Structure 1
Amino acid sequence: MSGTGRRVGRPRAQARPESGLPTREELLEAAAELFTTRGYAATTTRAVADLAGLRQASMYHYFAGKEDLLAALLEGTVGPSLKLAALLTGRDDASAEARLWALCRADVALLCDGPHNLGVLYLLPEVVRAERFAGFRAVRDELKAAYAALLAATSAGARLPPAAFAVRADLVFGLIEGVILIRREAPIPDAEAFASATADAALRVAGCPEEVMARLHREGEALLAACSA
């Protein structure tokens, strides 16, 4: 601590260009780049610290290890969507179909955001099985349940028998997360248009008739604008 009671910052390993990001975010950016290009297993904490311009020992002030970096990155891919889902499910001034469109569109945009395809980290064996990532899996399950709740409130979803509904819910959620594999194969040139088109496709999978799609698209966009205001 300094004489003023303020924590003294950890020393950096080397000078680097100013990014404007807090040190913790710089470490996450470095981990995102290395995990998605070099691979999680092949990346060391030293490599992350070096890329972020820190001494390895300094990195441990922010993260206990590689698993903590991965957990933080994973949670960042679902947390905003789960927060939006809570807002949307609590609204009664829009149809369930429009609210489902808005969630789909925002979720795809999040998965397309940034230079690194973080969603591909979902497929890591460690993420699927390790106890350390049980929290992420639970949050992802909450998000999937929010999709199902909105689908159940739609006209088409309400008419489905339980077994058919479960399949339809899996298909909608799988379509949204499918962006992970699409993005792995090739860059998505217009993420905004892609997100909107995927949300349209999700409503078609949900059973919405084609003649109402344009209206639901507009209502969904208005909902997103209202939620972000």
Structure 2
Amino acid sequence: MGKNVTGVGRPRASGAAASSQNAREAVLEAAGELFTGAGYAATTTRAIAERAGLRQASLYYHFPSKEDILAALLAATVRPSLEVAGGLSGGDAPAAVRLWALAYADIRLLGGARYNLGALYLLPEIASPNLAPFRAEREQLKAVYRDLVAESGAPSGSGSDVAVRSNLVFGLVESIAIVRRDDPVLDVEAHAVEGADGVLRVAGLPAPDATLRAAARALLTRS
């Protein structure tokens, strides 16, 4: 969907500061800290600009609205996992190995990021039309999990079983954001391993062993 890129009274920045990739990254860094700390609704673009060390005009040069900043932050929580999923597709590794690998990488992404951006999934603003691209990419990732659950061949009574298991699998992966909220110093690696193990059990597959985990990690190094 198109975005409203104009704003009454918003100045436009110019010069090196406005075009610098560093300035854009500074805005995202500041917003990630403030959105997950002070809260999205309570954070103003002025506060983000001040935290980033920029004029507010420079912020608007890169992001026409606060919602655009949120969209960029959320995209960074999904696109790397979609890239991992793409690297895992088309291979001859068993579906269970690929499912473990994707869940492990996904949990590490959400759990290991500097700020707990996965917690932002609960914001009511997620339903905004401006965030439709993020929702679409998240659905793409969910569909990959669903395909892997179906391909794994776990016993099920009907197609609805696959849908239910896929929803539970996806929820388990994303639950790292809630765990991290309650335990900011959690052991991300341990949670990623246990979470990926849990994904296979929820999918109706046997508990993974060291051989399966090693094969999954090897896939990730090649993808």
Name the CA distance, whole Å, in 2 between partners of 1:213 and 1:226. 21
Q: In structure 2, do the counterparts of structure 1 residues 28 and 201 end up closer, same or farther at CA, with 3 Å as the change threshold?
A: same
SS in 2 for 1:61: helix
Name the CA distance, whole Å, in 2 between partners of 1:130 and 1:65. 13
Name the CA distance, whole Å, in 1 between partners of 2:166 and 2:89. 16
Name the structure 1 match of 2:213. Answer: 217
Name the structure 2 match of 1:39. Answer: 39
Query: 1:89–1:150: 8 Å Cα contact kept in structure 2?
Result: no
Aligned length: 208
Query: 1:75–1:136: 8 Å Cα contact kept in structure 2?
Result: yes
Query: 2:17–2:23: 8 Å Cα contact kept in structure 1?
Result: no
TM alignment of 1:116-131, pairs within 5 A? 116-127=115-126, 129-131=127-129
Superposed CA offset, 1:159-185 (max 9, x none): 551111111111111100111111111
- TM-score by structure 2 length? 0.88
Name the CA distance, whole Å, in 1 between partners of 2:24 and 2:157. 46
Name the CA distance, whole Å, in 2 between partners of 1:206 and 1:164. 9
Name the structure 2 match of 1:151. Answer: 149
Q: Do residues 54 (structure 1) and 51 (structure 2) align?
A: no
Residue 188 of structure 1 and its aligned partner are, at CA, apart by 4.0
SS in 2 for 1:156: coil
Decide which of 125, 131, 134 is 1:133's aligned counterpart.
Answer: 131
SS in 1 for 2:78: helix
Name the structure 1 match of 2:7. Answer: none
One-letter code of the match for 1:178? S
Name the structure 2 match of 1:14. Answer: none
Query: 2:108–2:189: 8 Å Cα contact kept in structure 1?
Result: yes
Superposed CA offset, 1:108-134 (max 9, x none): 00001233110011110011x211111
Name the CA distance, whole Å, in 1 between partners of 2:140 and 2:188. 25
Name the structure 1 match of 2:10. Answer: none
One-letter code of the match for 2:113? G
Q: Do residues 177 (structure 1) and 182 (structure 2) align?
A: no
Name the structure 2 match of 1:113. Answer: 112
Decide which of 15, 33, 46 is 1:8's aligned counterpart.
Answer: 15
Name the CA distance, whole Å, in 1 between partners of 2:44 and 2:90. 43
Name the CA distance, whole Å, in 1 between partners of 2:186 and 2:177. 14
SS in 2 for 1:22: helix
Name the structure 2 match of 1:194. Answer: 191
One-letter code of the match for 1:223? L
Name the structure 2 match of 1:15. Answer: none
Name the CA distance, whole Å, in 1 between partners of 2:190 and 2:26. 29
Superposed CA offset, 1:17-37 (max 9, x none): xxxx82211110000001011
Residue 38 of structure 1 and its aligned partner are, at CA, apart by 0.7
Query: 1:117–1:184: 8 Å Cα contact kept in structure 2?
Result: yes
Query: 1:111–1:179: 8 Å Cα contact kept in structure 2?
Result: yes
Name the CA distance, whole Å, in 2 between partners of 1:194 and 1:23. 34
Query: 2:180–2:186: 8 Å Cα contact kept in structure 1?
Result: no
Query: 1:33–1:116: 8 Å Cα contact kept in structure 2?
Result: yes
Identity, in percent, stands at: 51
Gaps of 5+ in 2: 1-13
One-letter code of the match for 2:100? W
Name the CA distance, whole Å, in 2 between partners of 1:44 and 1:28. 13
Name the CA distance, whole Å, in 2 between partners of 1:219 and 1:176. 20
